Structure formats: structure tokens, C-alpha cells
Amino acid sequence: MNAAPKTLRHLSELTAAGLAPASRRAALEKVAAQYAVAITPAMAELIDTSDPHDPIARQFVPDAAELETQPQERADPIGDHAHSAVDGVVHRYPDRALLKLTATCAVYCRFCFRREMVGPGAESLSPQQLDAALGYIAAHQEIWEVILTGGDPLVLSPRRLKQVMTRLAAIDHVKVVRVHTRIPAAEPSRVTPELAKALRASGKATYVVLHANHARELTPAARDACALLIDAGIPMLSQSVLLSGVNDDAATLGALMRALVECRIKPYYLHHADLAPGTSHLRTSIERGQELMRELRGRYSGLCQPGYVLDIPGGHGKTPIGPSYLREDGPGRYCVEDFNGGLHSYPPRP
């Protein structure tokens, strides 16, 4: 009997699978020594090894360009540390806080903004750290929403997730729990009725936010996994990262957003890629992102329109950076641009 496919974690495994050329192994070993590598069978199966520019490979297969760090890049590009109240909690916004349960993921994205902090062997919160984190959340009544992140919280067992959700359910002022994950696409077999049940917390609204960057990631198995969660009463949103060579053209980005909506997942965020070390080859310009948002507007359903956002370096939070369609055109008057580029006058208030 053949062994079940396993997650690829070593350069020798990537080379054997045809995902990394043997001629570049020495350089890629240096990358793998610095930044974690993991490609699940579900993601490995999607990679077209005959295409040197395959968009799935570009997200997960190490690249020697990752060793080139730019002066503006930062180990903590969005300032998690500056807003880390206690271990595992980032409290950047008044009414919501991140709860980072684990620093491990099923797959490791080459553009990850936490790439200096995550990887195999990274520990989950200890019982004492979890107690302190939940104690902080309980003591701050302004926290209305808790966002489970990491790492990827869904690498944890349903039993452990249920324990966390039960404890959050006991905090009266927390009304919403949001879970950010790649698991439904990266390792859909982990999404089971037991997991869906574990994510429900009495008296709380649970949302799952799927990270996907290309329509090919939404395989039949991934769609079934998402449907299982949604049919269990858990609404789903999406977040994507705008990446050069992956989704930085309107047709590819539009196909992703349509695929998400077909899965009953509302596109939520399109992130401008963060200033993580060694990721300049994957970042587009903001101007290109704004151009793409203009191309999506009006040509794809309103359901397919994510918010294009930039996480301001240093921990100052997300801000919308999409294009503006409105400008002043005299006292009290405005000029409005339609999705075809036509300009229209909007009358002043009487």
C-alpha cells in the first residue's frame, strides 16, 4: 500500500517532486534555513511544474530572491510587537484584538508578514500564557471582537479550539470571534463536522476568513470544506494579498473574487503586500493596485469588490488605499467618475 502524500518541508523533497531545480538547491537551502517551508499535498498538486511562473508555486516554493532584503523592509512590518499587550495578544484597535494561539501553519507563504516569527517547532501559547491572554481580553470591556490568528489557528485540534471558544463564550463583552485561516484550501481534510462544531461559541457570532490568492486554490475539496463551515452556520469572508506574478492582472483577480462569491464567501480584504524581509520581488506598486481596483469596479459584481488596504508600517493599522472617484468641481459641487472613465457633475445641495 502506498503511503499517503505528506507535506513537503525539505529542499530534497521539493527537488524530488520537481518543484525546485537541483541546480539551485544550494541557494534555496539558505532560504529554507532562514524562512520556514511547508507545502501541503493539496497545494503541491496544484503546481504546474512545466510552468516556471506558476502562480501557486510562486506563493509557496522558496526563491533565492528572498535573500535580498531592501532597506525599507522590516522584521515586524505591521508593528505587532508595538501593540502586544501580553504574549499572544495584539491590541491595535479599540474594539478588537488579535489572539495568536499558535505560530505554526499548514503552509508557509513566501510573502508572509510574520515570516520571522512562524515556523515548525514554534510553540503554541502555554496554558499560563493563554490564561494571561484571555485574562487581558476579559479585563478590557472595549474588546467586542477577538480575531484568532497566528500562525494558523485551525492547525490546532478541534478539542483545543473548543476549549478556547468556550472560554471566549464566557466573556460577556466579546460578541464576535473571527478566525483567519488558509486551512480550507491548503488542507481541506482538516475541516470536519467536529471542527465546525468546535468553532461555535454560545452567544457569539463566529466568522471564518479564508486566505486565498488565486482561483485555482478553490478546488472541489476546498469548496466542500468551505460549504461544510457555511452550512454549519458560520459565515465566511476572504482576504487576499496582491502579489506580482500571482494575481496582479484584472482577469486573474476577478476570477478569484468570482470563485469566492460562488463559494458563498464575501471578498473582504485585498492587502497590499507588507514590507516583510525578502519579499520585494512579490510586491506590486500601490498605483498598480489602484488600477486593478478600477478595472474590477463595474465590470465585476459588487459582491466581488474587496477593500484594497495597506497596513501602515510601524503598527498604525490598516487604511483603505483604493482609487477615488469623486473630486470637488467648484464650491459645493462635485465631479464623479463612472466605471468607464466618464465624468459627471453632481449638483450642490440646495
Average pLDDT, the chain: 95
* Structure confidence at residue 2 (pLDDT): 62
The whole-model pTM stands at: 0.95
Q: What percent of the chain has pLDDT over 70?
A: 99
Which pLDDT belongs to residue 347?
A: 86
- Secondary structure E strands in the chain: 84-86, 89-93, 96-100, 145-149, 176-181, 205-211, 236-242, 265-272, 307-311, 318-320, 326-328, 334-337, 343-346
Phi, psi of 12 (to 5 degrees): -60, -35
- What number of residues does the chain have? 350
Q: Which CATH number fits domain 81-320: 3.40.640.10, 3.30.460.80, 3.40.50.300, 3.20.20.70?
A: 3.20.20.70
pLDDT tens, 185-203?
A: 999 999 999 999 999 999 9
Q: How far apart are CA 285 and CA 301, in angstroms?
A: 25
Residues of the chain falling short of pLDDT 50: none
Backbone φ/ψ region at 203: left (φ over 0), alpha (ψ -120 to 50), beta: left
- Whose grid coordinates read 531545480? 21
What's the pLDDT score for residue 349?
73
**Cβ atoms of 213 and 43 closer than 8 Å:** no
- Rounded CA separation 322/344 (Å): 20
pLDDT in tens, 31-86: 999 999 999 999 999 999 999 999 999 999 999 999 999 999 999 999 999 999 89
Q: Can you give the pLDDT at residue 70?
A: 96
For helices 127-139 and 158-169, give the axis angle rounded to 10 degrees: 30
> Rounded CA gap, 334 and 43, in Å?
48
Could you list the active site residues?
92-93, 96, 105, 109, 112, 114, 274, 311, 318
Q: Which residue has the cell 505554526?
A: 104
- 3-state SS class at 223: helix
Task: Report the alpha-carbon distance of residue 335 to residue 350 in Å, rounded.
Answer: 17
Write down the domain spans for the chain: 11-67, 81-320
